[in-house]
Structure formats: C-alpha cells, structure tokens
Chain A
Amino acid sequence: MKSGLKGLVRWSMILLRILIPCIFDIIIFSQTAFSFDTLKIEASLDTLKKEISGTVEYQLPQMPNLSSVEFQLFPNVYFNEDSPYLRGKGQFLEHFMKNKKWAGMDIDSILINGNNLSAELKIEYTRGMLKLADSTDLAGKISRIYFKTRIPEFGDRLSYFKNEYLLDGWFPNPAILQSNGMWYNPYYGSFCELAGEYSNYEVSLTLPAGLVVVAAAPPVQAEVTGDIAKYHYLFGPAHDFALAISANYLIDSTNVGSTVIRIFYRDFERPALRLVRDAARHAYRYMVQNVGDYQYGYLNYAFVDFAFSGGLELPGLIALSSPKDAPMFSHMYESMVFHETAHQWFYGMIGSNQVEAPWMDEAVSAYFTDKIQIATYGEKANLLDFADFKISNKDMYRFISGLSGKVGIINKPAYSFTTQMDYFGLMYVKGSLVIETFDRQLGDSLSATFWREYYSRFLFKHPKPEDFVALAAEIGGENYRRLLESLLNVSARVDYSLEGLKNRRIDSANIEISVILRKEGNLHFPVRYCLILANGDTLNYQWNTDYDSEEIVVKSSQPATAAIIDPEFKFAVDDNLLNNSMAVKGDGKPALRLSSGILLLVESLLSYIGGI
C-alpha cells in the first residue's frame, strides 16, 4: 500500500513535470499556435562600465549534418572607423572618432553540449562562425555563448545617454539557418536593421535597483535584493528582444481590445501622452482591422533620447525620440507613431528581411502610415492645416519623392544605398507610392484579401520579395505579377499624360473629339481615361497602353471640355499629376493666385533687405 502510494506520488510528479511546462507554454504562448526554439539569456548590466554581459543558450536546429554554427554580434557595427554600418552615418562616426570610445561585443567562450570550442570560433565584423569537421553533427545540441557587450554612447539602436539605455542587438543572436543548410548571417552595412530568426525568449536581467526596464512584456518575476534587481521575462515568438532602461520612466497604461498599450515617459514628456496614446490606438485598431491580430499581450512605447529625431521599431516595443524636438502643431509626430506601429506587423510579426529587401517593411509601413493618417485625419490636410495652407502626408511623400526618389530600383538591399536621402527617398517614399499603386490597382475588395492573406500566410515567417509578388499574382492575376515586377525591379520615370485635346465638327449633329494619350515608363497595365463633355456628361474609357502614345478619336454630339487620364490617381507613382488632365479652354486663375502670393513674399523680402 505504502509502495503503491509512493508509486502514485512518483507518477503524479512525473505527470506534473510534463504537464507544468505544457500548461506554462499554453498560458504564455496561447495566442500563437507555433512551436519555436527558446533563447535563454542571462545577463547583467553594469551601469558604471556601461557594459552588459552574460550568456545565451539555445538548442541548435535539428538539421541533418549540421557541422557549423553562426551567430550575430551586432554591437561590432560600432567597433571602429572601418565599420560599413557607420559609413552612411556620419554623425555617429564623427562622434566615435572624436571621443575614441568605440564599442562592440566580446565572446569569452562558446560551449557546445558543455564542450568549450572557443578556439575554433572565428569572428568577422558582426559574424561569429564556428566551423567544425564535416563529420561533426551539431543538430539538436545545446549552444552556450558567454558574451560581453560594450555599449556605445550616442549610438542609434544600441546606446546609452547619461544613465538611460536603449539596448537592441545586445546579445549574440543566432543567425538564420536556411532550408538548404546554409547559415544566413546578415551583412550590416549602412541603413541596415537587425534581422533574426523567430524564437521564444527567456531572459533574466540583473541590474541596479531603481532603474525602470521596458521590454516587450512585463517581467513574470521580479526580485529586488538590496541595490540589485533581477527580472525574468518570457516573450515570443519574436526575432529580437530589445530593452529601454531609465530611472525616470513613468508608465501610462491603457487597454485596446485584449492588448495593453503601455507608454513609458519621463515627467517632462507628460504633455505628449494623450497624443501618443490616441495615435497608438488609431494605428492599432486600423492594423488589426485591415491586416490581422496583434499577437502579443502588450504594445509598448518608450520615449528615448536619440541622437536623431525619429522612431525605432522593435518587436513589441517602439522607441520614440522624445517629443521635445517636435512642436505639435502638425500631425507629424502622430505620423511617426503610426509608422512605427505599422512596423509591428510589417517587420515584427511578418518578418521580412530589412537587410536584403527593406521595401518589404519600410515601404509597406510607410504606405500603411498614409492609410492610417487618412482614416484618422481625412484625405486633405492630414499633416498640417495652418493659415489656409493644407498639407497631407501624400503631399510630403510626393515632395520628397520629387527631390530624392525619382528613379532607382526599389527591390535592392539596404547596404547598397550610399546616402540617407537616397535610402529614405526610395525605400520610404517612392516605395510607399509603389505599394499604393499596386494596392489601388487591386481595388478595395482584393486589397483587403491580399493583406489578410499575406498576414496569415507569413505570420512569424520570413517572406521574400518573390513571395509577395507570387501572392499578388495568386490573388489578382498574372497582370499584377508583371505590374509589381516592373514597379519593384525597373528604375524608370513613370508619367501618364495628355498631349492634345481637340474638337472638330464633322456635320451638324456630330463632333469628332481627338485626344492624345502618352505614357512614359515601362508599366504595361490598363489605365482609365475620361472625356468631360460640354453638357457635363462623362465618357469613360480604358487605354491598354500597348504603345507609348496613342491618338483616340471619339464621335459625340457634344464637344469635350476636358480630358483626364487616370482620374482617380491610381498610379500613385505617376511623376507628374499636373499633365494628367487637359482642358480645352485654359484657366489663368491658379497661376494668377500663386503669382499674387509670390509677389507679396518678394515685396516682404525687399522690405527687409531695403529697410523700407
């Protein structure tokens, strides 16, 4: 009986041991139905030395004949003046060179199943490579890496300023093992952001008590012993785990649906809270409604002191530069909140590779920023409405596109860009217009299907440009494959225009209307055009754009007063919208009004120069 009881207790314990982790997993990761490897990180932050050190442990994938391990040492982008990453970031490079305080990551040792293989480790820039004999099978073995990261002052995504920290890429992150057995270890050139594999994170962080830590989720366990605090976090699946730390953070918490939106702010940033909270809610709702559910329990925003103005997307955590540099008489700051929130979908949960195809997250997020901006503040003046000057987000896109993103291939890696202006102009602005063109050609119904399908098919996966294009063809037809391939892979100016509009009376009842349509660029996609008749009627037609220009002749009882090509501006990439329409009778009023305004400006200038 006694032994029977003992046996029952033993079996109960075994059962509990099996069940508890399962229940734990169900509770923690119930929102997803995926199974991922776990990254166990134990680290401590030394606020005096500005270092974070510890270990990362994970099981290597069950890939047959796996004889090598690769991981990323992102902090090495701040290693010295030869860093390709710093080449396009002049202000940081200048700062590091002036202060001679470089940063980086040291690997103390790497253990595979407890065996120290540090002697075999090779480190090249941000790539850690452990290559063993071909006969070695590393599949399923436990890799443990001991690291120490020196945090740069005034960096971008990994930096400290006084006693505040933004930590991204602070631990050795596994490289991505591809289906062909090769490791993909990103090359971090200028304008590159971290790329990683999806994992579940178990993170233990030790640091001085009194510091508020912002992570993608609140700690499941917190212990404070004297001056030391230890936090334990569980988060995932995600391809990164970033932190923002400050002693001065206060927390504002609200619920939207089943998600808690937390804003971490310093007391002086309190006036901006409402604005950020409202913007976050608008963006969240829009994205959930139009793309798919947010997969985590928390969406966090933290104000940080960047060395630049802007925002930074991290999984479950958005770092926003303190609004002290953003006078809020426009909706510019909200636009940044919208953009970074959209990234939680297009980067965070749909893990396209920013290093190789930045348009897949930047251009798509910029497009959704515009959509959220329109849904929240209307089509016109959604960025600024001041003294009759109305500026929309789209106006800004078109302005920047005119300055810097006129030509250039969209589908190219981030490290191939040489200037910030080119990167921003092409990836954010021109890219957004490309996605808008594709989306508007799809139409409302197919567009909704496309984005929902894209989300559900690639949730916690790494879609490539060809996956995006293939899905477009699957949903819209082969025409859309051609359209996207032209838009993404060919650098050419796109312009649809009208070159002539004439009425010629042919008899007492009929008038011959001739209109010359022209297109520039390589898009072969039908475009709508219309004729507006003297009696107000509109005749709608479609031009198949088989040729670069074509004269269309129409018989009508009424003369045409105007013609418009692409009247709904569905080709958002069209370089010039002024030549999309033509009126038979010109109207000097717009130029007259503009000149009248310019005249006042010139008079004012002369007044100040001449003193009277």
Chain B
Amino acid sequence: MREMFRHIRRLVQFKSLWLFFFFLKAIMSVLLVIPFFLTTNGILSSSLFSKGLISDWDMSVIIELFSGRGEIIPVYLISILIAAVIYMVIMQFLNGGLYYLIVSGETAPVKWNIFFAECGVNFIMHIKISLMMLLIYIILLPAGMLFVNVLGLAGGNLVGKSVLMMMFFKLGVLAVILLAASFFSDSIRAASAAYPEKSFGEVVKIGARYFRPRLLTLLGIFVLTFLPFLLVWGAVEWLAIQSVEIMAGMIGIIVEFLLFQISAFTRTGQKLWYLFYFGRDFNSQNPGRFLPKQAELPLSN
C-alpha cells in the first residue's frame, strides 16, 4: 500500500507527461465538439425555451433539440466513432513511448526525443496488440453479458431498489471481466517495451506469464487508484451542480467547465498512477533490456 502511494510522487514528477496526455485527449474532444456547439448554438441562442439549460440539465430542452433535429444524431455518432478510431491509432503510436517510460523506470523529466523514438519503434507491435485485444473484447463482452445475465436469474425475485443494486453488482462483475482484459493488454504492451527484439508471439507469452498470477493484485491496485478518482468525480459533479445554481449565468458555466476538465485530468492521472506501479512491478519480474548492467570489478593479481 505504502509502495502504491509512493508512486503519486512519480505522477507529480512526470507532470509534463500527465499534461501531455490530458491535452491530447482534450484537444481531440474540443475538435469534435466545436461543430456540435456551432449547430446547437444556432438553434438554441435565440430561443427563450432553451434558457432552462442554463440553471439545470433541463431534459425538455435536450429532447426538443434532438427530436426536432433527429437527423443530426447519426452524424454526431459517426463523427464520434471516427474520432475514437483516430484517437486509438494515435494512442497506439504513443503507447510505445509510454510503456517504455513506465517499464524502464526512467526518472523525470521526460526525455521527449527518446520517448518519440520508442513510439516509432514499437508502433506496429502496439497496433498488433490492439487488434488482438479487439478480438478478445469482442469475445469477452457477449460472454460477460451472458454470465451477468445468469447472475440476474439468481436475483429474479428481487424488487424495487434491490434490482438497482443487483444491476450495479452485475455491472461491477462485467467491469471486472473487462478490466482483466485491459490488464492483460497492459502486460503484453509492457513486455513489448522490455523485449523489443522478440516476436509478437513471444511477447504475448511473456505478458501472459506475468499477468496470470498477478490478476488479483493488479485488480486491487487498480481499484485503489480508481477510488480517489471516483471521489474527485463525485465531488466535481456536486460542485458543478452547486456552481451553476449559485453562480447563475456565464460564471457558473465556466466554473462547471473547469470542474469537468479537472475530472478529465484526474482520470488521466489515475491511469498514469496505476501504470507507474504496474511498470515498476513488471520490471522487477521481467527486466528485459532494462536489466541494470553488472558492475565489473577489477581482478587483482
């Protein structure tokens, strides 16, 4: 546990990396949202009916907006899908540098030339890993759904709020299944960083060997790093609602926007925090090319 919290310090040391990944995500999202803003502003700005949206998430405005312009929904969904694919490809490029950094145990500041060089070297390997993971997710998701539905049958006589609790429990089980897949992905990516000379099959084997005995530990670590994020997210949500209510108008909206961005920034930090711990642990088991050179002692006659 103490080890875990020690890695928060690394998060602060690598703040440039943190900011880099946050801004990448934010810029991609802003590019996607600008056309949405321009379209909706054209519809909402002159209408008095839309004013309800300033003080709370008035669904009647949102419903009027989308039911009146139903044709724009598929356009937005396709745009989001395209942006998600582009972002995923960019991330496969950046994963080379990111996993190099976390497994090598390099200290701050980030040496960006090395970072990007590693990005280029491992790009194809990360694309391969992503394609394989895509296949795994395609299999896991329906299989997981089937499993949680079987759980649902067990709770068939529940009513009311207990059903809601059961639903959250089922979601939790599904999340664990998907998280396990993501830990597997992390393990292979880390193996590719430690053993760049090895083939895809060998890298998968090294990753799988590391992943199997540590699944529960990694799950525990992930939950530990995720809880503070959840707290921040909850606090941000609450503060955002308060800010809009108390500071009516533009100031409230700006404060809410900043709070939302804090939430997005924290989410990036959470994953980096987890990865710092994970990278160190992986290195201790599979140092690969990061094995410290043995000191050569001069032989005395």
Q: Which chain A residues have a beta carbon within 8 Å of chain B's beta carbons?
A: 266, 268-269, 271-272, 275, 322-329, 387-392, 394-395, 398-399, 401-403, 562, 564, 575-583, 586-600, 602-607, 609-612
The answer to whether the Cβ of B30 comes within 8 Å of any Cβ in the partner chain is: yes
Q: Which of A269, A388, A389, A603 contacts B29 (CB 8 A)?
A: A603
Nearest A residue to B60 via CB reads: A395
Please determine whether B159 and A268 come into contact, CB atoms closer than 8 angstroms: yes
A390-B56, A591-B44, A611-B271 known; A599-B163 Cβ under 8 A? no
Residue of B nearest to A403 (CB): B67
**Contact size range, B:** 35 or more
Stretch in B111-119, B204-212, B249-257, B279-287 with 4+ CB within 8 Å of A: B249-257
Inter-subunit contact B161/A578 (CB<8 Å)? no
Seed contacts A398-B67, A578-B49; 8 additional CB < 8 Å A-B pairs: A323-B163, A390-B56, A578-B44, A581-B47, A581-B49, A590-B44, A602-B80, A609-B88
Q: What 1/0 flags go to B29-73 for Cβ under 8 Å of A?
A: 110110011001101111111110110111111111111101000
Q: Give the residue of A268, A562, A594 whose beta carbon is less than 8 angstroms from that of B53.
A: A594
Of the candidates A327, A562, A589, the one whose C-beta lies within 8 Å of that of B253 is A589
Q: List 17 A-B contacts (CB under 8 A).
A: A268-B159, A269-B159, A272-B159, A326-B163, A328-B164, A388-B56, A398-B64, A399-B67, A401-B67, A582-B48, A593-B253, A599-B29, A599-B257, A602-B32, A603-B25, A605-B80, A607-B25
User: With a CB–CB cut-off of 8 A, which chain A residues contact B158?
Assistant: 268, 324
Q: How far is the CA of A325 from the CA of B153 in the complex (A)?
A: 11
Cβ B47 vs Cβ A595 within 8 A:
no
In the complex, the answer to whether A395 meets B59 with C-beta atoms within 8 Å is: yes
Q: Is there an interface contact between A329 and B164, defined as CB atoms closer than 8 Å?
A: yes
Given contacts A271-B160, A327-B160, contact A576 B64 (CB under 8 A): yes
Judge whether B45 and A587 touch: CB under 8 Å: yes
Contact between chains at A593 and B256 (CB < 8 Å) = yes
A-B pairs with lowest CB-CB distance, top 7: A402-B67, A586-B45, A591-B41, A581-B48, A327-B164, A268-B157, A610-B91
B103 within 8 A of A: no
Q: How far is the CA of A346 from the CA of B64 in the complex (A)?
A: 30
Q: Is the C-beta of B141 less than 8 angstroms from some C-beta in chain A? A: no
Q: Tell me the total A-B contact number using a CB cutoff of 8 A.
A: 208
CB nearest neighbor in A for B80: A602
The interface residues of chain A lying within 8 Å CB-to-CB of B226 are none
Question: With A268-B159, A603-B26 as given contacts, are A583 and B48 in contact (CB-CB < 8 Å)?
Answer: yes
Nearest CB of B to A106, in Å:
35
Contact A611 B182 (CB under 8 A): yes
Residue contact A582 to B47, C-beta cutoff 8 Å: yes
**How far is A389 from B244 in the complex, measured between Cα atoms in Å?**
13
Contact between chains at A599 and B162 (CB < 8 Å): no
Whether A599 contacts B33 in the complex (CB less than 8 A), given A390-B59, A398-B67, A578-B43, comes out as yes
CA distance A596 to B26 in the complex (A): 11
| B21 CB-CB contact with A under 8 Å | yes
CB within 8 Å of A: which B58-100 residues? 58-68, 70, 80, 83-84, 87-88, 90-91, 95, 98
Cα separation A588 to B50 with both chains bound (whole Å):
10
Q: How far is the CB of A476 from chain B (nearest CB, A)?
A: 28
Q: How far is the CA of A325 from the CA of B59 in the complex (A)?
A: 24
Q: Are A596 and B256 in contact (CB under 8 A)?
A: yes
Residues on A with C-beta less than 8 A from B143 are none
Q: Give Cα distance in the complex from A390 to B45, angstroms.
A: 21
Cα of A401 to Cα of B249 in the assembled complex, Å = 31
B58 CB contacts on chain A under 8 angstroms: 390
The answer to whether B213 has its CB under 8 Å from any CB of chain A is: no
Given A395-B60, A596-B253, A602-B33, A324 contacting B68 (CB threshold 8 A):
no
Pairwise interchain contact A390-B57, C-beta atoms closer than 8 A: yes
User: In chain B, residues 1-47, which have Cβ atoms closer than 8 Å to a Cβ of chain A?
Assistant: 21, 25-26, 28-30, 32-33, 36-37, 40-41, 43-47
Is B249 a contact partner of A589 (Cβ separation < 8 A)?
Answer: yes
B167 within 8 A of A: yes
State in angstroms the CA–CA spacing of A477 and B80 once bound together: 53
B37 contacts A591, C-beta separation under 8 Å: yes
Bound-complex Cα distance A587 to B40 (A) = 12
Q: By the criterion CB–CB under 8 Å, are B40 and A606 in contact?
A: no
State which of B49, B264, B275 has its C-beta within 8 Å of the C-beta of A603: B264
Q: Which residues of B contact A326 (CB under 8 A)?
A: 159-160, 163
Whether the pair A592, B253 counts as a contact (CB closer than 8 A) is: yes
Chain A CB within 8 A of B241 CB? yes
Determine whether the beta carbon of A402 is less than 8 Å from that of B66: yes
| Contact B257–A564 (Cβ < 8 Å) | no
Asked if residues B260 and A599 are in contact (CB atoms below 8 Å), the reply is yes
- B residues less than 8 Å from A593 (CB atoms): 53-54, 244, 253, 256
Instruction: Give the shortest distance, in Å, between B101 (CB) and chain A (any CB).
Output: 12
A606 near B87 with CB under 8 A, answer yes
Distance in angstroms from B13 CB to nearest chain A CB is 17
| Nearest B residue (CB) for A265 | B159
